Amino acid sequence: MTSRTLHITTAGLRSPVLVPSISSKGFPVLDDGTSETANVLKFVAPELSDSLLISAYDLHHGFLPDIELLLSDRHAESLYFNPNLLVVDSGGYELSHEYESGEVGRGPRSPRRFTREEHHAILDRLPKDREILAVTYDDQRKKRPTYEEQLAAAQDLTVDFPHFSVDFLVKPAREAQCIDPAKLFPVLPDLRKFAVVGFTEKDLGKTIIERLTTVVTLRKQMDDAGLAGIPIHIFGGLDPLLTSLYFMCGAEIFDGLSWLRYAYHSGVAIHEAEIAILTNAIDVGDDLRAARRHLANLKYLHDFQHRLERWAADPASFELLGDHHERLREVYELVHARLQGGA
């Protein structure tokens, strides 16, 4: 895997692109009707210079701050103006009953209604002079659309919103539990209409090794089809170990909520109480500890991106991947051994 400039903004973003996400899912709703994460966003917004992911679901239901400003001609005054790239997710994560790997939900688990038409209405109100990566609607019906039907709906979005870049979120077709690269292959030539092609982590396979081999296979298929310029986006996680492996296997854009829930330390995501012990913050109150942790995690992501970029320039130097580089190398080699063996 190489590091390159992804032209999903005017200035471009260097891969890997690590996108902090904000979502109401799994977090309590406050007295004012916003999610607990709204307060986090208010605090960290000045530090978000590269990218931020928010959900169209949360915009529609009012769970985030500054929504009216964002959806007006005064959007430059909103909290969302600072990041170079604003990713507006489909709302599928909030609608589903699944959680990210390792996630413990604390908030309501009963999603509110959010339709394709409501998703379209939110996109229609977003500022047209703002660099936005719009994620296609995630149909949560048990019998999902075919790959061809998903493609047609995604292409309609590029027509309706030509001023946005579009991230085509591909889901397993029909009753399938996971993405099937062989069945997706026939629609690959038409993917060139999109800025990004995305997959949720759990849709890539039933095990971690299956998910990694699927990413390698997808990247090769896309490259062979003349789509080398289109990056793969992995939705969900942003865990240091998993993100390293997915980048090594060919994905380039990553988002997730782990920076909100956990603490990054020595190459892993750990419980927030554990980082308090390791950093001698055992006599610091919860709110202050959380604020420090969120800022520290954002700095970690910045440094992490540079570390992965350096490894991509010298992939034989696995030590650039940090404390767990030996295990990362072993898994990476196993992925390619499985692919060569046809298993």
Buried b (16+ CB within 10 A) or exposed e, 17-37: bbbbbbbbbbbeeeeeebbbb
Quick one: DSSP state of residue 146?
P
pLDDT tens by residue, 132-148: 999 999 877 767 899 99
pLDDT tens by residue, 242-282: 999 999 999 999 999 999 999 999 999 999 999 999 999 99
Nearest-CA neighbor of 129 among 171, 83, 76, 90? Answer: 76
Average pLDDT, the chain: 93
Record the pTM: 0.95
Give the span between the Cα atoms of 310 and 185, in whole angstroms: 32
* 91 CA to centre of own chain: 12
Q: Using pLDDT thresholds of 50, 70 and 90, give the confidence band for residue 343.
A: low
Nearest-CA neighbor of 60 among 91, 22, 35, 37? Answer: 91
Helix axes 325-341 and 240-249, enclosed angle (nearest 10): 40
pLDDT tens by residue, 28-79: 889 899 999 999 999 999 999 999 999 999 999 999 999 999 999 999 999 9
* 162 CA to centre of own chain: 22
Nearest-CA neighbor of 166 among 184, 192, 129? Answer: 192
Range of the domain at 206: 5-341
The more confident residue out of 203 and 111 is: 203
Q: Using pLDDT thresholds of 50, 70 and 90, give the confidence band for residue 108.
A: low
Helix (H) or strand (E) holding 322: none
- Mean pLDDT is lowest, of 109-118, 156-165, 241-250, for 109-118
One-letter identity of residue 159: V
Q: How far is CA 227 from CA 80, 187, 230, in A?
A: 31, 12, 6
Count CB neighbours of 150 within 10 A.
23
Number of domains in the chain: 1
Give the span between the Cα atoms of 200 and 91, in whole angstroms: 13
Q: Which CATH number covers residue 231?
A: 3.20.20.105
pLDDT tens by residue, 167-179: 999 999 988 999 9
Q: What is the pLDDT of residue 335?
A: 97
H helix runs in 266-324, sequence order: 272-278, 286-313
- Which of helix, strand or coil describes residue 239? coil
The tokens of 247 are what?
Answer: 């980048």
Please check whether residue 269 is in contact with residue 262, taking contact to mean a CB–CB distance below 8 angstroms. Answer: yes
Give the span between the Cα atoms of 59 and 66, in whole angstroms: 10
310 phi and psi angles, rounded to 5 deg = -65, -40
Please check whether residue 20 is in contact with residue 49, taking contact to mean a CB–CB distance below 8 angstroms. Answer: no
pLDDT tens by residue, 75-104: 999 999 999 999 999 998 898 877 666 565
Q: What is the pLDDT of residue 95?
A: 86
Q: Which are the contacts of 84, defined by CB distance < 8 A and separation ≥ 6?
A: 9, 11, 13, 49, 50, 51, 131
